[in-house]
């Protein structure tokens, strides 16, 4: 039986469509794994099979663009492509209400502005006063933000014009990059590590269980003895804090959405 490396070498050398099909079939379970993680945080109107279809488009793109010479694990590389493809399709359908998007962005900007002015992390009450809205509306929005995938570690936080880096990639640091790329991103990575330490203990725990242990929000809720919606709020708030802190420091901040 031909192993993965031999399959990749043959396909990249010959472009054989039969080999390509073997690779795609082999990694379909990866697409289903990604979809399984994502769908728990999406509205019930979103169909599992549709997400798998969108994810396969990303898988096809990953197979074509995968570079063996960079010595990056294909699964690590493909996950970002698969997620991106799904997000792109959902975004094109505009299934996240614009009012939710706008309020999420307004809250993020308020975090950035208030932290610059006061030199400390703003409270929800201060953000509410700054935006002129009820504090309860912000608390409700945290759940909607997570369901809308507006705040995520998959958001892009660094863009040097040629390559983009996500928060989750900076944390996991799985990709093998050139010395130049590593130097360019090291400052962002160090800042992220520092800001992670500034989060509350429960916020750090939720991020760890979600992104490292690969647990669903429901599973995390069971471990922490809190509701799934509460986990969603904690996750969203933690990510919003990280993004705003990174944005405050770097002018080349970019967003996935």
**In the chain, domain spans:** 4-92, 98-249
**Averaged pLDDT for residues 152-172:** 48
Could you tell me the pTM of the whole model? 0.52
98-249 has CATH 3.30.300 classification:
no
Asked if 4-92 and 98-249 have one fold, the answer is no
Question: Tokens standing for 138?
Answer: 């912000």
Q: pLDDT at position 239, please?
A: 80
On whether the CB atoms of residues 145 and 101 are closer than 8 A, the answer is: no
The tally of CA atoms less than 13 A away on the side-chain side of residue 105 is 10
4-92 has CATH 1.25.40.320 classification:
no
Lowest mean pLDDT across 184-188, 196-200, 242-246: 184-188
Q: pLDDT at position 249, please?
A: 59
Lowest mean pLDDT across 68-77, 183-192, 200-209: 183-192
On whether the CB atoms of residues 248 and 112 are closer than 8 A, the answer is: yes
Quote the mean pLDDT of the chain: 76
Q: pLDDT at position 163, please?
A: 47
Calpha distance 4→93 (Å, rounded): 36
Lowest mean pLDDT across 24-28, 86-90, 191-195, 208-212: 191-195
| Nearest in space to 226 (alpha carbons), one of 199, 201, 202, 208 | 202
Calpha distance 158→257 (Å, rounded): 14
Q: pLDDT at position 129, please?
A: 94
| Nearest in space to 149 (alpha carbons), one of 35, 41, 53, 254 | 41
pLDDT for residue 168 is more than 70:
no
Q: pLDDT at position 144, please?
A: 59
Question: Tokens standing for 167?
Answer: 């928060």
pLDDT-derived band at 5 (thresholds 50, 70, 90) equals confident
**Averaged pLDDT for residues 3-15:** 85
What are the two backbone dihedrals, phi and then psi, of residue 190, each rounded to the nearest 5 degrees?
-65, -40
Helix (H, G, I), strand (E, B) or coil at 101: helix
pLDDT higher at 188 or 91? 91
| pLDDT tens digits, one per residue of 70-112 | 878 898 889 988 988 888 887 776 566 677 777 877 888 888 8
Radius of gyration of the chain, Cα coordinates, nearest whole angstrom = 19
């Amino acid at each position: 039986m031909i192993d993965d490396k031999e399959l990749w070498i043959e396909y990249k050398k010959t472009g054989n469509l039969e080999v390509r099909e073997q690779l795609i079939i082999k990694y379909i379970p990866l697409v289903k794994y990604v979809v399984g993680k994502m769908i728990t945080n999406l509205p019930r109107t979103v169909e599992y099979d549709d997400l798998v279809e969108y994810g396969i488009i990303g898988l096809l793109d990953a197979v074509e663009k995968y570079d063996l010479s960079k010595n990056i694990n294909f699964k690590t590389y493909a996950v970002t492509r698969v997620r991106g493809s799904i997000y792109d399709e959902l975004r094109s359908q505009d299934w996240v209400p614009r009012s939710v998007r706008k309020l999420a962005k307004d809250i993020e900007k308020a975090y950035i502005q208030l932290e610059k002015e006061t030199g400390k992390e703003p409270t929800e009450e201060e953000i509410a006063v700054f935006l002129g809205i009820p504090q309860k509306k912000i608390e409700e929005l945290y759940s909607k933000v997570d369901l809308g995938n507006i705040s995520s570690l998959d958001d892009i936080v660094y863009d040097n014009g040629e390559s983009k880096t996500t928060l989750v990639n900076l944390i996991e640091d799985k990709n093998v990059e050139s010395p130049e790329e590593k130097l360019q991103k090291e400052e962002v990575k160090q800042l992220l590590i520092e800001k992670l330490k500034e989060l509350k203990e429960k916020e750090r725990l939720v991020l760890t269980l979600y992104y490292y242990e690969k647990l669903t929000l429901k599973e995390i809720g069971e471990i922490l003895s809190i509701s799934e919606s509460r986990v969603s709020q904690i996750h969203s708030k933690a990510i919003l804090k990280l993004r705003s802190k990174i944005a405050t420091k770097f002018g080349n901040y970019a967003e996935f959405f």
